[in-house]
């Protein structure tokens, strides 16, 4: 195993997932890539809001994602593991699967919980989607 992909969403559970991925990377001398998927506001719900508001909101999401990824990268570096990160736009499950497949990752390490139960009800479980649709191996951290 050479390459591990770890979705990071800023939740406490994704930090726990990262710790497990770090332990695996140490055992297998693998590299870690952190991925954050930004899902911009759906234009159906925006109605007549101005484009400037939409752009500003996406910019704020990118700023937040960069901060989360930088913190996570520092944690991986402290463990002596090679790490990089990427931010992509789109549906989290689809983008995680696409990135893992397109870049030949050996393993996706994903948490079974995100930010909140309400988000899971509204958006569905990203973890469940990835497990059911990814061609790559997936390790779920509870």
Q: Give, to the nearest 10 degrees, the angle between helix 126-133 and helix 92-102.
A: 40
- Break the chain into its structural domains and give their ranges: 3-141
Average pLDDT, the chain: 84
In this predicted model, what pLDDT tens digit does every residue of 51-84 receive, in sequence order? 544 555 777 888 889 999 999 999 999 999 999 9
Q: What percent of the chain has pLDDT over 90?
A: 59
In this prediction, residue 41 carries a pLDDT of 59
Prediction pTM value: 0.85
CATH code reported for the domain at 3-141: 3.40.50.620
E strand or H helix that includes residue 87: strand 83-89
């Amino acid at each position: 195993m050479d390459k591990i992909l770890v979705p990071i969403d800023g939740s406490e559970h994704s930090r726990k997932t990262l710790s497990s991925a770090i332990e695996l990377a140490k055992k297998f001398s693998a590299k870690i890539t952190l991925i954050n998927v930004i899902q911009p506001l759906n234009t159906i719900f925006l109605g007549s809001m101005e484009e400037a508001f939409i752009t500003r909101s996406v910019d704020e999401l990118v700023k937040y994602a960069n901060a989360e990824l930088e913190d996570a990268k520092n944690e991986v570096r402290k463990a002596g593991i090679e790490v990089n990160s990427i931010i992509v736009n789109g549906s989290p499950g689809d983008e995680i699967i696409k990135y893992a497949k397109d870049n030949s990752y050996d393993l996706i390490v994903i948490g079974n919980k995100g930010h909140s139960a309400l988000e899971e009800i509204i958006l569905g479980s990203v973890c469940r989607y990835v497990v059911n649709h990814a061609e790559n191996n997936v390790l779920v951290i509870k």
